[in-house]
Structure 1
Amino acid sequence: MLCKVCHETILNSSQNWGYHRKDYQNVQKDPQVESCIFCSEVRTDALKTPHGKALQYLWTARWLPATRQDQPIMAVTFRPQIEDDLCQDSDRDEKPPLHSGAARFPQPRVFYLFKKDAIQIANHLGPTTNVTVDGSLPQIQQWLQQCSSRHDRCRAVSARKREMFLPTRLVDVGTTGGERPIHIIDSKEAGLKGNEPYVTLSHCWGEIEILRLVDGNKPVLMNPEKGIEWAQLTKTFQDAIAVTRKLGVRYIWIDSLCIVQWTSESAHGDFATEGQLMHKVYRNSFCNIAAADSSNGNGGLFRSDAARDKIVPKAVELRREDEKGAGEWYILKGDYWAQHLLDRILYTRGWVFQERMLAPRLLHFSANQVLWDCATLSASEVLPGGLPPQLDTLAASERHWRERLSLIRPAAVTNGNPDAVEEVMRAGTADDSLETFWRNSVRSYTRCRLTKSIDRLNAIWGVAKLVRDGLRQEDDGRDEEYGAGLWSRNLDLQLAWRVVNPGPEEEVRDRDLRDLCPSWSWGSTIAEIEVQSRHASSSLEMWYRVRSHDGGEVRFEVAPYTDINFQPVLARQSLAVKASIVKGLWDQTHQAVVSSAFTQDSVGRFDFFPDALMSQGETCHLLVLWAQKNAPDGGVADDDRYHSDCSDRDDDQEREEQIIHNSGAGLMLRLVGSDDEGAERYRRVGAFGFQGVHKEQIGLLVNPANEKDLWIL
């Protein structure tokens, strides 16, 4: 568990900090290092450092704050120390671009030590997760029993059969050796009631051929006398059916079998209609089964390995001089939940994001154990009683919103669309801002990958719809619209979204997305996105905001609903904008746009965030979206100090000297042509922000005399 070096120099040391091994490049593979939880993790990071440099790590050990009743917890952190010659390299002109996504130095590694009697750790894990030979089944049954009988939040969610909803189709798994084969049923035709329990499956389709429901095989697959042959099912489908039966549930919803799939231009299937119901399918399920560690249908759910027991931590004895340190301790990695679950292949897939957020309960079949999620508890077979708070940050946030998204009720049919029932978010124990949830959701979702880039916006619509309905309630209005990943209210404030780590343009700006999504939407990119708030940062009215051609707010329009709309469709892709715009050139060395609009004093107060890597000297146009006044300390200037009138010259002069700062955001654009009336047409290539700038220093960027009508495509 720990090598001798770490045991003696860190855990049994009277020191609170020190340097770890000197050179990881030259550490030979030996049993002690390989089995040491500290050395093995830190060395893996050290060998991945850029430029082939070897880093030394500084370790620190500290006791976390605790009340008298709390058990002591120690945090051991390893921070990479950059060598002097590496720092010199970073100052050279040939350094990697700031936003290039080039290799970064390893992040600190954090480990937590818990007293043996203060945390519930499994004594032993059996050699398999296979529920048909018991395996993980007893633990799964215990979680389900606790959830249904002891979790007040989960019981409240489960008790609300909000719409008495059932999916259009379900797979009837019957029982092992049942009188009828596995087959697909039409829920209405079968006479099922809305409270009939069913489970769902999250899985990676992969590149292999899997059984799909299509127009040609519907008569057979939906025939209770013929149905589906066991050999036709992938290993993942077979395992999921086995779990469903063991849970005592008769029906399972699997996307490829319950939605008629597209086969040709004349056989489109019914995803256009069924896709709009997927958020309801997962939210109203009994439980979601996730094949977290399988890249395709051949991977299955279950894992059998005698070494599975090795993931159970063994207690380490400390002999520290201080009273809190003596005794036996468990060591757990700070990124436990990410390592065992969120970093697994299934959760790198975009479509699964909404499945994970909307299902009331989840059973994650991962690489070497089963993990559990509901609105109350996140746990694993190793930590069956739940994650300790120090490891629970990511999981707790998702539980919080899983509950919030479940506490809804039907409201009204909108736009004449019976499948677009507007749903109202109920306040509950989870009552944080939907604005915060949406920003975090987009950031997490856009880290994921999609097999088809054209599904960029489709795969988050289930979550977006619920957020839209919640925002309409919170804002006490019915006018909030969702389009292309953004919200209609205060659209101009949202347009300066940022690509976190840009790559080459051909990778970020996918060709297939260009005709489907406008450049002003983050949905037009394949990259991790940081969206901007749709609310101003203060109550102080902004002194500049970009306008539409008619002088009103910049806005998009949603087309009338049709029965083939998967989600709201833009009536027009381009945005009408009236603004001044200035031309500049990209400076690769300083990662900035050089323009005559900037004074020497102001250029350093602008930060530029290109969507994709740009070439030296590339032409770029700048458009300010909004600007507001700020106090000298960087905070927002208050109304009284900014607007008060005083005839005394000294006070006026003092006020002018104090309030010289402005902050705001804008777009980096590329000119692509003009329309028939001569209005210039642009595409977005990035965003920028500024702060601490005098009003005169951005005068050319927001000069009303230079404003003109233009289009952003």
Structure 2
Amino acid sequence: MLCAICVNFDVRELLVKAAAQPPKGFNDPTAPDTLECLRPAIPHFFEHHPNLLSLQSSIDECDLCACIWQSYASNAHPNELVHDELLKGTNARQIFIGTTAWDATLNGLPHVAVIQNGERGAIRILASFEVCALRGHEPLDHQDLLARSIYSNSGSQKCLQLAARLLGDCVNKHKSCSSQYSTSSKLPTRIIDTEGVNPRLVDGGGQCGIFAALSYCWGGDSGFILTAATERLFREGRPIEEFPPTIRDAINITKALGIRYIWIDALCIIQESDEDWAQEASQMREVYRGAVVTIAAACASKTSEGIFRERVASNRPRCWLDWRNGDKNPSKVFLRLGSELWDERMHQSIPNTRGWVLQETLLAPRTLWFGQQQLCFECPKGSVDEAGRTVRIVEVYRSKEFIQSLRQEIIPSWRRQLITLLREMHIPPAAAVPWLSLTNILQARDLETIRQRAIVWKPFTLQGYFKPPGVFLGMSHFDFWLTIIENYSSRQLTKPTDTLPALSGLAREFHRATGDTYVAGLWKMDLIQGLTWTRASLIPSGYIEDEPTLLDQYLAPSWSWASILGRKVLFMADSQFDRVKRFAEVIDVNIQLATHDPFGAVKGGSITLRAPFLELDSQDLLSAPHPSLPYPKLLARISDMLIAAVSSEYGQKHRAYIGQKFAILKLIQWRRVLRTTERACFLIPESVEGGNDWRRIERLYLTARETVLWDSKEVIDSLAILAEIKHVLKRRVVRII
């Protein structure tokens, strides 16, 4: 049912016109075989209602008007929907139907957009729709411009056939994927053989084969695991009915994909053996990298829930339109809200809050996500969902394309030397030097000449892609690593001691690309920036937890972000500033590994720095400083900071003893030239009983300069503190454990 206006809207003509536009893109220098196909928007294709009030008056007689109004109203404040407000400002302007800009790479689909023109050329989108066809009832022409209806159950034969087809398309048609990732890889130490009636555990034996891997959440409710006592039963083969639903569904998916083997950690690692667990955890990179596909149980929070789901029909009205291709009985297509099926719950689900899952999905060359509402296939070429829509990853570090480029880029030794030298000279970490060689650098007589020769650029994204204009030296790898840590640290781990092991596979990838030394969650070449971390307080159930007691187990050296419990880790990234000056210099790094894995757990470690240093005449940083003590402003700032941080680093690390000393150590200073903003970062260490070592207990940021209309108290206090200590900081060699 359409109103007198909507009946004239020709959705086929709009989509065909959108597809016929020439692309406005460019060749990707990191992937020469890829052509971006960005089509511009067509915002004013069809003149719709004259204003929102007119649109609202038509919703009872027109399905299209009802869909548009429902989309707008669901995101608007109730006060904005009253009669008088609908006559004001942008609300009173003409409504148009057109398309947004869209990228045809990987069969991306144009979206129908309903818009109003705002002030100064701004455009307000009232609604965005996909144009869909029922499966089996597609029109005869331009089917590639239409999305599809989803299947009623994700475990249905047709849905699993679609999953197999998506995997097959990647393996057989994506040259860049198939050339880098062989379908057959070395089998893991142990693996589940799904052939026959009863799945059974077998040894990999160094053989090669095609296998899948499972990424899922145990949920703490499963005793169905591999132990010394159960190994014989698993090797003999157990009836599929005995397997927990999530694992049983994963085995059935593997069979439907035509794959014989699947790796499942609970069944392929001896769970009661610390030695076997450590050995197999260090092989995670090879397992997930070698699997032809990783099956992600995105809708299951525990093994008893299963993977397959009945799809709940959307309660949003569908608007049916004629596909006007000249047929006497034209096919019908329907509009679906653009946000209706993009399953945010899939990426915010319990499995995606788990620390281990991050590297499992990033390391996998292909992931098949089974969500609540639909399945989605992701590979380095992009992501396509069950409805036929292409989804591009916005966060560059979270895309398989980035991991693929990381694997392709192994930095030669001369380039590593160049990177090290440039960082020492404080050239920003994202730098492309298309023609500059190490010889050119060494022959330059002064720093300014070198800076003039280097073409400095900032990384940017287009539809989620990383587009470096020139030779990518790998200097931004460290910024990407810090971004990964920020995401990873906001996830949960069952055991705090898994913090570093659950990252070991990703660390191996970065080491392979950069050749740098991995040091307890940070990188030696970028250690000074890495030390600027701070970690948010634990906030369970929305309430701030009481101040934590001292940690009863060793996690990492005090200078590593992995040394304490908490929520998201934040770094002050060099790339945010135009000028960077490092005051601290790394003299030595020592790491004591807990296992044979150089990227896994540690049992000790130290760094030796040469940096501006000042001992504080105070044995209690929490108390207000006595007026007679030196540097009262600094001590007051530190005291206020520690008291305000309820679940602070200090609360988890401080170990008091008689005669203890505290100090500050200047790490780094950043500056934004145009905004005349300047920040300085200091570490606050405490002395360790029985030696000359120090322990990091907090970090301190001070604002050295800030462009503001008025001087805030924080800026004034920071300037006073910096003036207070300016001439008393003395360079000193300090060892921090």
Do the two structures share a fold, i.e. TM-score over 0.5?
Answer: yes
- The structure 1 residue matched to 2:244, chosen from 234, 237, 240, is 234
**How do 1:427-446 and structure 2 match up within 5 A?**
433-446=476-489
**Residue 675 of structure 2 aligns with which residue?**
634
Corresponding residue of 1:448: 491
- Is the Cα contact below 8 Å between 1:201 and 1:252 reproduced in 2? yes
Give unpaired runs (5+ residues) of structure 1. Answer: 3-10, 22-31, 47-56, 78-107, 318-326, 413-427, 473-479, 548-552, 589-593, 636-660
- Which residue number corresponds to residue 512 of structure 2? 469
| RMSD (CA atoms) | 5.3
In the alignment, what sits opposite 1:557? 590
Following superposition of structure 1 onto structure 2, how do residues 641-656 of structure 1 map, counting pairs within 5 Å? none
1:268 aligns with 2:274: yes
SS of 2:356's equivalent?
helix
- For 1:205, what is the secondary structure of its paired residue? coil
The corresponding residue for 1:515 is 554
Q: How many residues align?
A: 555
Post-superposition Cα deviations, 1:465-488, rounded to whole Å, max 9, x if no partner, equal 21122122xxxxxxx211221111
The change in CA–CA distance for 1:666 and 1:124 in structure 2 (over 3 A counts) is same
1:293 Cα deviation after fit: 0.8
Q: State the partner residue of 1:299.
A: 305
Deviation at 1:442, TM superposition (A): 1.6
Structure 1's 385 and 115: CA in aligned 2 closer, same or farther, altered over 3 A?
closer
Deviation, 1:333, is 5.0
1:526–1:118 CA distance, 2 compared to 1 (3 A)? farther
Q: Deviations over 1:624-653 (max 9, x none)?
A: 31236775x336xxxxxxxxxxxxxxxxxx
State the Cα distance separating 1:515 from its structure 2 match: 2.2
| Aligned counterpart for 1:128 among listed residues 148, 153, 167 | 153
Q: Residues 126 and 334 of structure 1: is their aligned pair in 2 closer, same or farther, counting only changes over 3 Å?
A: closer
Counterpart Cα distance in 2 of 1:440 and 1:75: 35
Read off the aligned partner of 1:557 and give its amino acid letter.
N
Offset of residue 682 of structure 1:
4.6
In structure 2, C-alpha distance between the alignment counterparts of 1:587 and 1:313, rounded to whole Å: 65
* Structure 2 counterpart of 1:664, one-letter code: A
For residues 271 and 410 of structure 2, the distance between their equivalents in structure 1, rounded to whole angstroms, comes to: 30
Displacement, 1:130?
0.9
Residues 352, 255 of structure 1: alpha-carbon distance in 2 compared, 3 angstrom cutoff? same
TM-score (norm 2): 0.62
Structure 2 residue matching 1:146: 3-state secondary structure: helix
Structure 1 residues 581, 33: CA separation in 2 closer, same or farther (over 3 Å shift)?
farther
Alpha-carbon distance, 1:461 to partner: 1.7
TM-superposed deviation, 1:685 = 5.7
* Separation in structure 2 between the aligned mates of residue 68 and residue 172 of structure 1, nearest angstrom: 41
Higher relative contact order (CA 8 A, sep 6+): 1
**Aligned with residue 157 of structure 1, among 180, 186, 200:** 180
Aligned partner (choices 344, 352, 369) of residue 357 of structure 2:
352
Query: What's the offset of the Cα at 1:435?
Result: 2.6
| 1:487-526 alignment runs, 5 A limit | 487-499=523-535, 503=539, 512=551, 515-523=554-562, 524-526=564-566
Could you tell me whether the CA contact under 8 Å between 1:520 and 1:684 is conserved in 2? no
| 1:199 and 2:212 matched | yes
| Residues 494-528 of structure 1, C-alpha deviations (whole Å, 9 max, x = no match) | 21123367758857968557622233322123211
2:180 is equivalent to residue 138 of structure 1? no
How much does 1:246 deviate? 1.0
Alignment partners' CA distance in 2, 1:508 and 1:378: 43
In 2, Cα distance between equivalents of 1:68 and 1:232 = 46
Q: Which residue of 2 aligns with 1:580?
A: 614
Hey, what does 1:99 align to over in structure 2?
none
Equivalents in 2 of 1:214, 1:58: separation in Å?
A: 66
1:300–1:381 Cα change, 3 Å:
same
Q: Distance in 1 between matches of 2:517 and 2:643?
A: 27
What is the CA–CA distance in structure 1 between the aligned matches of 2:227 and 2:733, rounded to whole Å? Answer: 49
TM-score of the aligned structures, taking structure 1 as reference length: 0.64
- Equivalent of 2:292 in 281, 286, 291: 286
State the 1:364 CA deviation: 1.0
* Map of 2:519 onto structure 1: 483
Report the equivalent of 1:369.
374
2:264 aligned residue: 254
Contact 1:610–1:687 under 8 Å retained in 2: no
Alignment partner, residue 221 of structure 2: 208
Alpha-carbon separation, structure 2, partners of 1:238 and 1:353: 23
Is 1:167 the counterpart of 2:192? The answer is no
1:187 aligns with 2:194: no
Partner of 2:327: none
Contact residue 545 and residue 625 of structure 1 kept, 8 A: yes
Equivalents in 2 of 1:348, 1:363: separation in Å?
18
- The whole-number CA distance in structure 2 between the counterparts of 1:316 and 1:486 is 56
- 1:125/1:681 CA distance change after superposition, 3 Å: closer
- Note the alpha carbon deviations across 1:584-606, whole angstroms, 9 max, x for none: 98899xxxxx9745799xx9xxx
Once the 2 structures are TM-superposed, how far is the Cα of residue 353 of structure 1 from its aligned partner?
A: 0.4
Is contact 1:171-1:182 (8 Å) kept? yes
**Residue in 2 that maps onto 1:88:** none
Q: Equivalent residue of 2:181, what SS?
A: helix
1:279 CA displacement = 1.1
Superposed displacement of residue 187, structure 1: 1.1
The SS at the match of 2:592 is coil
8 Å contact from structure 1 (residues 558, 568) kept in 2: no
Q: Distance in 2 between matches of 1:334 and 1:611?
A: 40
Ranges in structure 2 where 5+ consecutive residues have no aligned partner: 3-46, 57-65, 81-88, 117-123, 133-141, 323-331, 414-464, 625-629, 655-661, 707-714
Alpha-carbon distance in structure 1 between the residues aligned to 2:643 and 2:178: 47
**SS in structure 1 of the partner of residue 202 of structure 2:** strand
- In structure 2, C-alpha distance between the alignment counterparts of 1:481 and 1:666, rounded to whole Å: 24
350-359 or 369-378, larger mean C-alpha shift: 369-378
Q: State the alpha-carbon separation in 2 of the partners of residues 505 and 622 from structure 1.
A: 28
Classify the secondary structure of the residue corresponding to 1:450: coil
Change (3 A) 1:621 1:685: same
